[in-house]
A and B are shown apart, each in its own frame.
Chain A
Amino acid sequence: MTARRSRTRAVLVALTAAMIAAALVSIRYGALDFSWREMASATAALLSGRTGGTLDERIFAELRVPRALLCLFVGASLGVGGTLMQALFRNPIVEPGLVGTSSGAAFGAALFFVLGSALGFEASPWALPLAACAGGVLATGLVFALVQGGPGGRASVAALLLTGLAVNALFLSGIGFLTYIARDPQARSITFWNLGTLSAANWQMVEVVGAATVAGTLLAMRYAKPLNALLIGDDEATYLGVNVGRLKWIVLAVNVGMVAIATAFTGVIGFVGLIVPHILRMIGGADNRYLIPASALLGGTLLTLADLLARVALRPAELPIGIVTSVVGVPVFLSLLRRGRYAF
């Protein structure tokens, strides 16, 4: 009992340290490398609110730091989203994207790229994130409306996954169609967006995504105990006093809010939400009071490292981060599946 709790506590402390280290390393290296001393003086300049400064200081304050913070928040959102969805459906192979959120967001973005230029409303920098977020919410809502309306009225895992697959296919074909009718530069934008990138990171994005991530994670932690009860079954959770229908809607709304907002600014980033809860359960078990904060920390850490890899692998060119997470994530996921003791 106490041994287990002190172990999960130690894991959380280690993850926090790893996250800070990943962020520092990620800020330091890139197309241009900083020394630790330069980082310290640039941080001092940033904190004192001094604007302008040298070109290096501006790269540090306006590109590297917001990008690292955006990585932490987006990764945390994807990690927590994965944990929530896996708990909600008692299934370790669910990731946020499987219920339509990502493909819907990608469709919303594609629609914006094609229609936005045709109709000429590209003025606001918030139009693209709004379109993507709306698409993500819409697609997830569609999946759940279809599942809830099905026989029995309950979201069985198989029904959910298959419905998610169908809706994903629908939105992907929609994206395909939009790419087909798009002019070349728009089609390229759609392709890049589908691979994910954090190169556009700025402080405004950090504020929006950060607020959504922190609020979503704190809200999710409030429901960690009923989510634990849900792991042993809908009926069992009801017998333990949990209002299961209400819990599912709340958790789903939290997940969609976090993931749709994160995806809206960065494009589709796969595998983080799938792998992070897996790794953490192998280290410290499935108790959501540990798993939710831990997946925020590990998700942020892994995405920050993936972004670092995306920036330095072919420097000065940059890889789309979705390619990095998939190339690294697929083998990790497959080896976890082979070693894991999960009962599917």
Chain B
Amino acid sequence: MIEARGIVYAAGSHRILHGVSASFAPGRLHLILGPNGAGKSTLVKVLARLLRPGAGQVLYGGADIAGQSERALAERRAVLSQAVEIAFPLWVHEVVMMGRYPHFSGRPAARDLAVVAEVMDYCDVDGLAERSYPTLSGGEKQRVNFARVLAQIWEPRPEGGRYLFLDEPLTFLDIGHQIDLMRKLRNFGAAPDVTVIGVVHDLALAARFADQLVILHQGAVLAAGTPAAVMTPETVRAAFGVEPVSMATPDGRQHLVFE
């Protein structure tokens, strides 16, 4: 369970978040939507404590994260950023192994090697293990980094939850890999101790895969709840300035298109 209480964040004199409050229950996939400049990435960075809010609190499992050490936080919180570029020839296997860095000192233990093998298999990147990271395509890099953040919080902890944040994880992926990633997120996030929060741009994919949606508009929460409750014509029009049209797919599910 992650709670945000009255988060205010400003970059210089420019206020980005104006008192955002929201709660994110474990075992669910939460997606944050909003137009450009709404403050989505900033909110994720505050929730993951890369940025410190000017006012308000972030709580993981009821405990304020403000005073926790980087290492303690890294053992249970992982973040997939938009684009990770590396100027140096690091092997893909080592990049994924970095997800285990918070869990061992010195050399990786057998358990760390096993976790890396499992997540590389889970993310279909085991064929890339011996490749040099800078030679990968954008989509391959994204999948390798997904494997890295999963490796970081792959194992349940004796106490307390695990938290996964994703900032526009779909950017470099083709449609097949986008849907595949969403399925994996739902699958991984279904564990009762895991909370997944992602920022995405594709409203239709978000409505289809999310358990809970938060729509951010001008630095404040415009609507929050299940996709059916949130994706109303009024809300979508207010946030994005487009008209949602609901269409039934042949198997009877509702699918959104926009005009």
A, B bound: yes
Residues of A near any B CB (own CB < 8 A): 1, 3-4, 86, 90-92, 225-226, 228-229, 231-233, 235-236, 238-243, 281-282, 285-287, 341-344
Residues of A within 8 A of B79 (CB): 235-236, 239
Measured in the bound complex, the distance between the Cα atoms of B239 and A256 in whole Å is: 52
Q: What 0/1 pattern do residues 65 to 80 of B give for CB contact below 8 A with A?
A: 0000011111101110
B87, B91, B99, B129: the one contacting A240 at CB < 8 Å is B99
A233, A235, A236, A287: the one contacting B91 at CB < 8 Å is A287
A243, A281, A344: the one contacting B89 at CB < 8 Å is A281
* Nearest neighbor of B135 in chain A, beta-carbon distance: A341
- Pull 30 A–B residue pairs with CB atoms less than 8 Å apart, ordered by A: A1-B93, A86-B88, A90-B87, A226-B101, A228-B90, A231-B86, A231-B87, A232-B84, A233-B84, A233-B85, A235-B81, A236-B79, A236-B81, A238-B70, A239-B79, A239-B149, A240-B101, A240-B102, A241-B73, A282-B89, A285-B90, A285-B94, A285-B132, A286-B89, A286-B90, A287-B90, A287-B91, A341-B89, A343-B85, A343-B134
B138 smallest CB distance to A (angstroms): 12
**Inter-subunit contact A91/B87 (CB<8 Å):** yes
Query: Taking chain A's interface residues, is the majority helix, strand, or loop, or is none over half, making it mixed?
Result: loop
**Inter-subunit contact A4/B48 (CB<8 Å):** no
Measured in the bound complex, the distance between the Cα atoms of B79 and A241 in whole Å is: 11
Residues of A within 8 A of B98 (CB): 228-229, 232, 240
**Inter-subunit contact B87/A285 (CB<8 Å):** no
Measured in the bound complex, the distance between the Cα atoms of B91 and A236 in whole Å is: 17
**Inter-subunit contact A225/B84 (CB<8 Å):** no
* Nearest neighbor of A86 in chain B, beta-carbon distance: B88
Residues of A within 8 A of B77 (CB): 239
Q: Which of B48, B77, B89 has the most CB of A within 10 A?
A: B89
Measured in the bound complex, the distance between the Cα atoms of B45 and A238 in whole Å is: 11
* Nearest neighbor of A93 in chain B, beta-carbon distance: B87
- CB of B152 within 8 Å of the partner chain: yes
Given A241-B71, A242-B70, the answer on whether A344 and B87 have CB atoms closer than 8 Å is: yes
Given A92-B87, A225-B101, A285-B91, the answer on whether A239 and B74 have CB atoms closer than 8 Å is: yes
Residues of B within 8 A of A243 (CB): 70
- CB of B50 within 8 Å of the partner chain: yes
* Nearest neighbor of B129 in chain A, beta-carbon distance: A1
Residues of B within 8 A of A342 (CB): 87-88, 134
B90 smallest CB distance to A (angstroms): 5
- CB of B203 within 8 Å of the partner chain: no
> Which 7 A/B pairs are nearest by Cβ-Cβ distance?
A241-B74, A286-B88, A241-B102, A241-B71, A239-B79, A241-B70, A286-B90
Residues of B within 8 A of A90 (CB): 86-88
- CB of B256 within 8 Å of the partner chain: no
Number of residues on chain B facing chain A (CB within 8 A)? 36
B252 smallest CB distance to A (angstroms): 41
Measured in the bound complex, the distance between the Cα atoms of B135 and A226 in whole Å is: 23
Given contact pairs A242-B70, A341-B132, enumerate 9 new A-B contacts (beta carbons under 8 Å).
Answer: A4-B130, A90-B87, A225-B101, A228-B94, A232-B95, A240-B98, A240-B99, A285-B90, A287-B94
Residues of A within 8 A of B81 (CB): 233, 235-236, 239
B30 smallest CB distance to A (angstroms): 18
B74, B134, B149, B152: the one contacting A341 at CB < 8 Å is B134
Residues of A within 8 A of B149 (CB): 239
Measured in the bound complex, the distance between the Cα atoms of B90 and A285 in whole Å is: 6
Measured in the bound complex, the distance between the Cα atoms of B93 and A285 in whole Å is: 12
Measured in the bound complex, the distance between the Cα atoms of B151 and A229 in whole Å is: 14
**Inter-subunit contact A235/B50 (CB<8 Å):** yes
* Nearest neighbor of A4 in chain B, beta-carbon distance: B91
Measured in the bound complex, the distance between the Cα atoms of B101 and A231 in whole Å is: 13
Measured in the bound complex, the distance between the Cα atoms of B90 and A225 in whole Å is: 13
Residues of B within 8 A of A287 (CB): 90-91, 94
* Nearest neighbor of B72 in chain A, beta-carbon distance: A241
B42 smallest CB distance to A (angstroms): 13
Measured in the bound complex, the distance between the Cα atoms of B138 and A343 in whole Å is: 14
Residues of B within 8 A of A239 (CB): 48, 50, 74, 77-79, 81, 149
Residues of A within 8 A of B74 (CB): 239-241
A275 smallest CB distance to B (angstroms): 15
A84 smallest CB distance to B (angstroms): 13
Residues 74-129 of B at the A interface (beta carbon under 8 Å): 74-75, 77-79, 81, 84-91, 93-95, 98-99, 101-102, 105, 113, 129
Residues of B within 8 A of A229 (CB): 98, 101
A12 smallest CB distance to B (angstroms): 15
Measured in the bound complex, the distance between the Cα atoms of B86 and A135 in whole Å is: 33
* Nearest neighbor of A233 in chain B, beta-carbon distance: B84
Measured in the bound complex, the distance between the Cα atoms of B85 and A90 in whole Å is: 10
